[in-house]
Structure 1
Amino acid sequence: MGLPEDHLIPLVDEGLGNSAYLVDLGDGRALAVDACRDLRALYAAAERRGLAVAYAADTHLHADFLSGAVQLGHDQGATILASAAGNRAFDHQGLVDGDEIDLGGLTLRALATPGHTDEHLSFLLLDGRTELGVFTGGSLIVNSAARTDLLGPERTEGLARAQYRSLRRLTELPDSTAVWPTHGAGSFCSAPPGSERTSTVGAEQRANPLLAAPDEDTFVRLLTASLGSYPAYFDRLGEANRRGPGIVAGTPPLTGLSVGQVRAVLADGGHVVDVRPAADYAAGHIPGSLSIPLRGQFATWLGWLLPDTAPLVFVTADGQDLSEIVWQSYKIGYERLAGRLDGGLPAWAAAGHPLTSTVFVTAARTDRRPYVDVRQESEFAAGYVPGAVNIELGGLARGAADAPEGAIVACGHGERAMTAASLLERAGHTDVAVLDGGPADYAAAHGEQLAQGTEDTRP
């Protein structure tokens, strides 16, 4: 019968750079692949089509988000499909290489494709003997392959060699076979930029530079050379997914807290996270608060910069979606959400507590200051202000002492830079300014050309 084009529904998380998939099986049931714990989009898509999720398949023990499979099992009675080698501590159907699941007209075949993780499976969707597509998770992705260093530096090369063999196996499928990866552009589990999130085996054979490697050693060198830093929380979530995330009943509330209650949370080792836009934070904020503007990448920076063990209080702007704060936190395992400051900054100031501000300027109004660029090294190498110091945002908390005093802090637009400024202020820096814009804006305003390359510009 094949698979009608509209029966495969990609669900893209732009912030984490991942895709989940909902497959309409044609009989009122659906298959979900690599669903995140934030199931709002998946449930909305299923409801629009009148579908119940009968199967929830995970390609691997995810490091960048908590799986929604356990929740789907609870809510929908879905059968959880995952690698038997993952030793998951909850009810599931453990699969090994070659196992097949009858989906009622279509078949799902497990293919062992280790590399990104040891227990990684890809899932080949078949109509009879015809290969329709393969859910490749973190093995073959568009123009690359997912990283192999998440289990420690001592495992990186061995897993890269396994990844080489896994990709070669997948390229034995017919050229017309669709490739449906989980990781894509924007994911810290993968390397390449680009907008395409799906592909075909034939297209990858022609365009994927890793598949063009003439031998295994070259493949390993190319893959491992592309690996940059990744968020700290990645080191925790694989085990959390093996144990299985807790069940959530609806959207957990974000309770309004009085000024006194907020101060009590801080005294208990908590943190204040200000999710308002960068310009609002610059105009006034609670001293010591961390600026992480609420946007798609909120979860990434929350999980990179703060522990999951401390209570969190949020400062919000009028009209911001409180459920978005909750679900972005919960999908990476941050559940100690104490609440939000009721009444916002006016309530804090009315109680007699101080506010502080941060200089936020456009490139045309900047004076000559030391320039600290907090983008990823790969972004920096593609074009940076001459003389700039590169300290990645993820490493700034431990590298704050290396940042020059009186610096202008910049990223691509200003959001990450404001986060960086808040970290520097927490570390005792004063006279920090943030660039409202990016390196091209600054260079143009000062009559400079952007430099390029990989020279070491760290302090």
Structure 2
Amino acid sequence: MTPALEDPMRFADDHLIPLVDAGLGNSAYLVDLGDGRALAVDACRDLRALRAAAERRGLTVAYAADTHLHADFLSGAVQLAHDDGAQVLASAAGRRAFPHVPLADGDETDLGGLTLRALATPGHTDEHLSFLLLDGDHALGVFTGGSLIVNSAARTDLLGAERAEELARAQYRSLRRLAALPDATAVWPTHGAGSFCSAAEGAERTSTVGAQKRTNPLLAAPDEDTFVRRLLAGLGSYPDYFDRLAEANRRGPAVLSAAPLLPGLTPAQVKSLLAEGGYVVDVRPAAEYAAGHIPGALSVPLRDQFATWLGWLLPDTAPLVFITGEGQDLSEIVWQAYKIGYERLAGRLRGGMAAWPADGNRQATTAFVTAERAGQRPYVDVRQEAEFAAGHVPGAVHIELGGLADRAADAPDGPVVACGHGERAMTAASLLERAGRTDLAVLRGGPDDYAAATGRRLVEGTGR
């Protein structure tokens, strides 16, 4: 054993490259095996960052391991097998319908000096594996996927609410198994802060077994029942597209022969697509959407969380037309859509929003106001329940953005719609406008700004 491999932290510094997707709250990993080959763990279909990291080190991906059938993104393993000849390593219990090495508990893969051992850790999913990376008998780290994550554990309700408790009990046993590894073993989870697969807030995305035994409140649970109560109590809503992707990953995403494109469309072509059941998605900043947009367009500003809201609010079966702003990265739109299985991208309005009225078409506007100008309007808060409970405007009507399309009638007349900064609120306003509401405004800011402007103190709790 070399000194570099004796210390898990030094190994990580020298050989492990985390690839963080801030929008989905996930980490993939590229492991430099030291001989020009690499192991990829939980790589998503958007392989741009992984490719760049591999190219910098002159690596070819020889192995692509998936800890579970992901619900929040399409796996990149099939593409890596096609492009690099990577051997796909995954759970035999997942019944994947494409070539892979089916692994059961205790199975080992020789990586050429290092060994990857599969550990059955069900809970987040039935077929979940963790992968223990070994140098001889020495544990370097464990890729825990959606099992043990930093100061938490991943949600157990993705296979249906009726199975959430059963899987939470399996998660309890899985975390206890991982906690039995040596304290110095590095913990390399897939899900992290910002993931709707349920992760605690915080900046740390990796840890050690010993640190988690000291700080993870779920590992501190005195018994199984307490663990289950704590885990289930922390489950919030999750995007609708999660219900589709596990099966898509079991079948295997289609191999892409080239980077997808976003062709330019004329206003006439856009109108034709709308008439055929398509959607217009306006990815410009909220202020630009407010100043003028195509009636009925959905505002989803292009940012890290773009894929989440695209997949939560729109079907994957209808053609999508995008309205883009100057300088926006078209490839970012395409890859964020493709990594969650949205491939019916018809194109973008050529010439941007200015081309729409120039062609004689009507555009709509939305009031985007500061807290001082919000007046006495009813306040609609579209943040997640945990955010709302942490502090909200007294008397606010709470309707999560993800459920707003079905609850538009619950919004009061003439509201100011608000979130934390304004992006989600503008999306909410566009949904309400699609439902026929034109009597609204969007708050430029969040509850703290509103409280400061009105002299009202925020209150905590859900009010239930």
Partner of residue 80, structure 1: 88
**Which amino acid in structure 1 is aligned with residue 390 of structure 2?**
A
Partner of residue 54, structure 1: 62
Match of 1:357 among 336, 359, 365: 365
Partner of residue 391, structure 2: 383
For the 8 Å contact 2:191–2:199, the answer to whether it is kept is: no
Partner of residue 241, structure 1: 249
Aligned pairs (5 A) from 1:405-416: 405-416=413-424
* Shift of residue 192, structure 1, vs aligned partner: 1.4
Match of 2:204 among 176, 191, 196: 196
For the 8 Å contact 2:68–2:145, the answer to whether it is kept is: yes
Partner of residue 222, structure 1: 230
How far, CA to CA, are the matches of 1:248 and 1:322 in structure 2? 17
1:295 paired with 2:283, answer no
Match of 2:78 among 70, 75, 81: 70
For the 8 Å contact 1:405–1:430, the answer to whether it is kept is: no
Structure 2 spans left out of the alignment, 5+ residues:
6-10
How far, CA to CA, are the matches of 1:181 and 1:325 in structure 2? 26
Match of 1:326 among 319, 323, 334: 334
Match of 1:420 among 405, 412, 428: 428
* Shift of residue 87, structure 1, vs aligned partner: 0.2
Match of 2:130 among 117, 122, 137: 122
1:372 paired with 2:406, answer no
How far, CA to CA, are the matches of 1:252 and 1:197 in structure 2? 31
1:284 paired with 2:284, answer no
For the 8 Å contact 2:124–2:155, the answer to whether it is kept is: yes
The DSSP-based 3-state class of the residue aligned with 2:53 is helix
* Shift of residue 30, structure 1, vs aligned partner: 0.3
How far, CA to CA, are the matches of 1:251 and 1:364 in structure 2? 46
How far, CA to CA, are the matches of 1:192 and 1:378 in structure 2? 11
Match of 1:13 among 16, 21, 29: 21
The DSSP-based 3-state class of the residue aligned with 1:66 is coil
How far, CA to CA, are the matches of 1:403 and 1:191 in structure 2? 30
* Shift of residue 42, structure 1, vs aligned partner: 0.2
For the 8 Å contact 1:81–1:92, the answer to whether it is kept is: yes
Structure 1 spans left out of the alignment, 5+ residues:
none
Match of 1:162 among 162, 167, 170: 170
The DSSP-based 3-state class of the residue aligned with 1:159 is helix
The DSSP-based 3-state class of the residue aligned with 1:229 is coil
The DSSP-based 3-state class of the residue aligned with 2:281 is strand
* Count of aligned pairs between the two proteins: 456
How far, CA to CA, are the matches of 1:451 and 1:349 in structure 2? 44
Match of 2:314 among 291, 306, 320: 306
How far, CA to CA, are the matches of 1:193 and 1:67 in structure 2? 25
How far, CA to CA, are the matches of 2:303 and 2:433 in structure 1? 22
How far, CA to CA, are the matches of 1:47 and 1:401 in structure 2? 52
* Shift of residue 127, structure 1, vs aligned partner: 0.6
How far, CA to CA, are the matches of 2:329 and 2:461 in structure 1? 40
For the 8 Å contact 2:22–2:194, the answer to whether it is kept is: yes
The DSSP-based 3-state class of the residue aligned with 1:19 is strand
For the 8 Å contact 1:191–1:226, the answer to whether it is kept is: no
How far, CA to CA, are the matches of 2:409 and 2:306 in structure 1? 25
1:102 paired with 2:110, answer yes
1:435 paired with 2:448, answer no
How far, CA to CA, are the matches of 2:297 and 2:227 in structure 1? 44
The DSSP-based 3-state class of the residue aligned with 1:131 is strand
* Shift of residue 4, structure 1, vs aligned partner: 5.6
**1:249-290 deviations in Å (ceiling 9; x for gaps):** 231110100111111110110000000000000000000000
How far, CA to CA, are the matches of 2:454 and 2:284 in structure 1? 30
The DSSP-based 3-state class of the residue aligned with 1:94 is strand
How far, CA to CA, are the matches of 2:84 and 2:463 in structure 1? 53
Partner of residue 180, structure 1: 188
* Shift of residue 96, structure 1, vs aligned partner: 0.3
Partner of residue 36, structure 2: 28
How far, CA to CA, are the matches of 1:5 and 1:296 in structure 2? 26
How far, CA to CA, are the matches of 2:202 and 2:428 in structure 1? 26
**1:172-202 deviations in Å (ceiling 9; x for gaps):** 0000000000001000001411111000000
Tell me the TM-score normalized by structure 1. 0.99
- Comparing 275-284 with 1-10, greater Cα deviation is found at 1-10
The DSSP-based 3-state class of the residue aligned with 1:188 is coil
* Shift of residue 421, structure 1, vs aligned partner: 0.3
Tell me the TM-score normalized by structure 2. 0.98
**1:227-263 deviations in Å (ceiling 9; x for gaps):** 0000000000000000000011231110100111111
How far, CA to CA, are the matches of 2:462 and 2:324 in structure 1? 39
Partner of residue 348, structure 1: 356
1:398 paired with 2:406, answer yes
**Which amino acid in structure 2 is aligned with residue 417 of structure 1?**
A
Match of 1:260 among 253, 265, 268: 268
The DSSP-based 3-state class of the residue aligned with 1:344 is coil
How far, CA to CA, are the matches of 1:152 and 1:231 in structure 2? 14
The DSSP-based 3-state class of the residue aligned with 1:134 is strand
How far, CA to CA, are the matches of 1:344 and 1:169 in structure 2? 54
How far, CA to CA, are the matches of 2:438 and 2:396 in structure 1? 19
For the 8 Å contact 1:191–1:227, the answer to whether it is kept is: no
- Comparing 364-373 with 333-342, greater Cα deviation is found at 364-373
* Shift of residue 298, structure 1, vs aligned partner: 0.2
Change in 2 beyond 3 A, CA 1:4/1:442: closer
* Shift of residue 365, structure 1, vs aligned partner: 2.2
How far, CA to CA, are the matches of 2:222 and 2:441 in structure 1? 49
How far, CA to CA, are the matches of 1:141 and 1:104 in structure 2? 28
Partner of residue 448, structure 1: 456
1:232 paired with 2:240, answer yes
- Comparing 184-193 with 161-170, greater Cα deviation is found at 184-193
**Which amino acid in structure 1 is aligned with residue 319 of structure 2?**
P
**Which amino acid in structure 2 is aligned with residue 112 of structure 1?**
A
Partner of residue 89, structure 1: 97
The DSSP-based 3-state class of the residue aligned with 1:345 is coil
